[in-house]
Structure 1
Amino acid sequence: MIGKGSFGSVFLGTLKKPRSRFSCFPSAMAVKSAEVSVSASLQKEKEVLDNVKGCPYVIGCFGEEITTQDNGEMVYNLLLEYASGGTLADSIEKSDGCGLPEYDVKRYTKSILKGLRHIHDCGYVHCDLKPENVLLVPTINSSGNFVAKIGDFGLAKRSAQSKKRRFDLDLYLRGTPLYLAPETVIERVQEPSSDIWALGCVVCKMLTGKSPWDRVEELNTEDLLRMIGDRRELPKIPSDISDEARGFLKACLVRKRMFRFTAEMLMDHTFLASVGEHDDEVKDKGLLDVQDEELVAAPSFSWSETDSEFSGSSFSGDWSLYSDDASGFSSWSEEDEDSEVQFIESSGKKVSLVGPLNCLASTIPIGA
């Protein structure tokens, strides 16, 4: 086990016999698992990943599987690309609050934008873009560098444009309060422009180690949402960054979504001009080849809590699960300091909370 969250657990699986019939799979995979009875979020993530596959800046999916443990419990498993560099949140935390080097921020931002552009073109909104959900995979042409890939699609939804509807209002908000766009807090609207707002918050966090909503006093979730929903409040754009970076953040953090840049427009921003086309090529080019084979399900395998290997099936001789605390893959940490809340509605000029605040894991829709 290398991670745990509200949806279940994540295991690291490694290929024991590279020349076996499973050699089409990569040498290591991340396996997200949950009891079948509570696996709706993982199954939804699989559906979304199937519909947005084909982009090297979206975490790869190799299939799904239902297995049976020794106690008879049925488990749903989602087989994903393993990101040995951990999450973007891990890298930011290691900077001791100083942020990442600006060129690294540019590279990661361009990768995320390419992923968002593809997701939006496929008719989806991620709804929970944040550093914890951006995974780092080694690049192909330089050791020690990583490319950013978007992961965790458990809260993704189809955009209104893909449904040919004007709006797609949810009963519940999706995502993490610190990264919610104003229109999401006020109107309960989450469309591609909402992901762009979240991207601006992520870039600010990469550049400075802080959120654009950071204040001297610590804000609780209710105060934070009131601030985001207040039309008089503006996110704080750092003054100690380059003019190009400031311009990029201003293009993302526009309160009125109709004036916010799209992913396509941001690709041409001067902030990203110095990033070469091949600076962020992924290392594992076999990923897309495997995806093209449309592997819907892997061969059957099972494991028990006391046995770290797959056992009792044809899969047991080729794959094993092991604990790897130093792997850096902590996208689904058991500890989650972000909170979920029920929706806020606007009434005239006032923004008021409806219902009590709920502290839930960010992989569950607010109010669930």
Structure 2
Amino acid sequence: MMEFVKSLGKGSGGSVNLIRVTKPDGSNPYYHAVKSSNYYDCLHEEFQILSKLRDCPGIVQTFGASLSRGRMILQGLVCAHDHGYVHCDLKPDNLLVFPRDVNGGVTKEVSYELKISDFGMSTEAGEGSVFWGCDSPYLGTPLYMSPESVRDGVAEKSLDLWSLGCVVLEMYTGKPPWPFQDSKEFLRNLLDDKAPEVPESLPWEARQFL
């Protein structure tokens, strides 16, 4: 699990925060300095440079990027979908951080991996998986729900892919996918098949992914 510890510095272009990563086995946590930027293309270019300089002892190391994390989540979703299940509640709170398994095939430029948790709302995919019979009028967390989950109440794999897009967007911007405080307002947007705004300032790869 990742926890914010304190701010290490802030400037006109962004900020650097100290993050504590708690291991699942209860052993001593470790710490990373995590940089966020107001200029996404600059941050992406900096990441590419630091990745090439990873083995230089006098230069800080970089451990990951939002798109790499998004691809890790996508790998987990593909596995669940291949087995016929839809998660139905994909969001940042249901993503756990683990030390990287070197033999696990995880992208080389990161030193940890994300794993999907909390399958309590999961169900089998398909037209028969209607979840409007639950106590809630919809299944999942509103900020990350898809239009079809609100409109049709049927668990399809596309629900998880929409939620993944919302999560990746939040990773890049540091803000929730919808700016609205009123849940009824963004539910109306979903019913009108509107999507969260993707800033033009995001790197090209991120915009293509989304």
TM-score by length of 1: 0.38
Which amino acid in structure 2 is aligned with residue 196 of structure 1?
A: L
In structure 2, the residue corresponding to 1:237 is in which secondary structure? coil
2:39/2:201 contact within 8 Å kept: no
Deviation at 1:212, TM superposition (A): 3.2
Which amino acid in structure 2 is aligned with residue 156 of structure 1?
A: S
In the other structure, the counterpart of 2:199 is 238
In the other structure, the counterpart of 2:181 is 219
Deviation at 1:144, TM superposition (A): 8.2
Deviation at 1:111, TM superposition (A): 1.1
Deviation at 1:174, TM superposition (A): 1.5
Q: RCO higher in 1 or 2 (8 Å CA, sep ≥ 6)?
A: 1
Percent identical among aligned pairs is 37
Assess, with a 3 A threshold, how the Cα gap between structure 1 residues 212 and 144 changes in structure 2: closer, same or farther: closer
Do structure 1's residue 108 and structure 2's residue 78 form an aligned pair? no
Given candidates 149, 162, 169, the residue that maps to 1:197 is: 162
- Counterpart-to-counterpart distance in 1, 2:39 and 2:89: 21
Which amino acid in structure 2 is aligned with residue 28 of structure 1?
A: D
Deviation at 1:158, TM superposition (A): 1.1
Deviation at 1:116, TM superposition (A): 0.4
Do structure 1's residue 151 and structure 2's residue 112 form an aligned pair? no
Given candidates 73, 77, 89, the residue that maps to 1:128 is: 89
Deviation at 1:106, TM superposition (A): 2.1
Deviation at 1:95, TM superposition (A): 5.9
In structure 2, the residue corresponding to 1:168 is in which secondary structure? coil
TM-score by length of 2: 0.63
Root mean square deviation of aligned Cα: 3.1
- Counterpart-to-counterpart distance in 2, 1:99 and 1:148: 25
In the other structure, the counterpart of 1:229 is 191
Assess, with a 3 A threshold, how the Cα gap between structure 1 residues 199 and 144 changes in structure 2: closer, same or farther: closer
Deviation at 1:108, TM superposition (A): 1.1
Assess, with a 3 A threshold, how the Cα gap between structure 1 residues 226 and 241 changes in structure 2: closer, same or farther: same
Deviation at 1:226, TM superposition (A): 1.3
Residues 97-149 of structure 1: per-residue CA shift (max 9 Å, x gap): 86996552122112111100000011110001011111110114589821111
In the other structure, the counterpart of 1:28 is 25
Paired residues in the alignment total 155
